[in-house]
Structure 1
Amino acid sequence: MPVGPHRDAPEDSLLLGDDDTELARMRLRDDDGTPVAAEVRPLPGAPLAGLVAQVRRDLAGHRLETPDDALAAALIADGLRLERAATDMRHALADVPEPVVLPDGWSLGAPGWDDDLAEGLDAAYGPDHPDGRWQPGDTEEVRAMFDTGEPVPPLVPASARLIDPDGRSAGHVLCAGPVPWTDDDCVWILNLGVAPRAQRRGFGRALLVHALRGAREAGLPSVGLSVVDGNPARRMYDAAGFRILTRVLTVRIPDA
């Protein structure tokens, strides 16, 4: 049995060698049809070469997420590609900034989705953005959140659209919470983006502060997010009081 339950933590699983040696601890889940092996951590004494071979065989087709640099490096050395390197962060909401005063004519409106917002985010997430281009599937996921509440409904008090003086959407912050992919009951910032025509004017911070204050209003204890390496927004998150929780290195394991 290559994957078995953890005897002391039923929510966790163990990756086992052919001789039933315990090689790694992890959490298995499904993300909209994609199997995920999350929080994969090699156990003390597990040989990396044997672990890599077992991962490629028994976790074929999975998206593997690990905080372990050595495991990620070994998988890459074995020919796999690092899909994403990011940092999960948390804000404890003990000290929340005051709301940002917006320029005349600008405002934060009710969360939602429209063509102006879709166009703005498509422009903001260009080919050189660390997170990659905005995709049609991203728009479909956001629409589904508002239309059907799937996979999670928006947390309205912590979400908002940035409205320009002409009444057009120029950015947004989209939050949900609690979310099933974290152990803590945090609010999760799914997306924070500002159209290029409104960038470098402090609107990103205004949306972030709105999310923090809305999360506290909703009675949840913290706010979480994941920021990919190289994203300049990381400086804004640090300045707002977010702290590092863990690193997440993502490698796609090819089908057998």
Structure 2
Amino acid sequence: MNFHSTEVRQKALTLLRGGARNADVARQLKVPVGTIGYWWHMDRSKRGECPGKHEPKCPHCDGVALDEPAYAYLLGLYLGDGHIIQYSGHRVPSLMITCTESWVGLMDLCEQAMRAVFPDNSVCRVRRTGCSNVKVYSNHLWCMFPQHGPGRKHERTIALESWQQDIVDSYPWEFIRGLIHSDGCRVTNWTTRIVAGERKRYEYPRYFFTNKSDDIRRLFTETLDKVGVGWTSLARGSDPFNISIARKASVALMDVYVGPKH
């Protein structure tokens, strides 16, 4: 085993603090690069600069700045297709949004929102058959998304806290977009009419939002009301799971601020 003097170690740290790369310092001082890396890690740890030593701060708990538009969008995605999990043996829980593999743009938007809301946390994509899970890891997920709880969302009460409602009120379109991108769609319907004795086909766009939770549908329709979008509730069997937006002016508004998934 090789031992290195305090003088060599201090010279290495001086170079590293000046911005030198580990490999360059190792070559200059003829010290193994692993030893240089260990010295640098211990030095940064003592000074409180070691990555991973401290949990990233939380906008809700610690009062750090929050990207509110991104949060409103991510909240909509979470209420639709998201859930928080913590596997056995994993130290940090994750928020996972499941996206169909063909919606590459949606996955990009989801990842951008996660990185904006949790800029110091790890974000990744996990590919599954026919879909991808976009995930962010944080110990503050439960305080940022207090709607988390045991069981399915439609089997428990879903209500926004006052600070969340303030964000949704400030950025309603971002919240609507998140809900549509998770549990909604833009489709083209068609019908036929008799005109001058001939049957003609007419096509028209329509937005749908489908969710089994009465509370989540209510949050969606209340926000639509605030931005002036007309809607109707359509029953699937005896349950009104579907919200339809079909009026021309309302669809035009949705096209401007939401648009189809891509």
Calculate the TM-score normalised by the size of structure 2.
0.23
Greater per-residue helix proportion: 2
Q: Which has the larger radius of gyration?
A: 2
Calculate the TM-score normalised by the size of structure 1.
0.24
Greater per-residue strand proportion: 1
Larger relative CO (CA 8 A, sep 6+): 1 or 2?
1
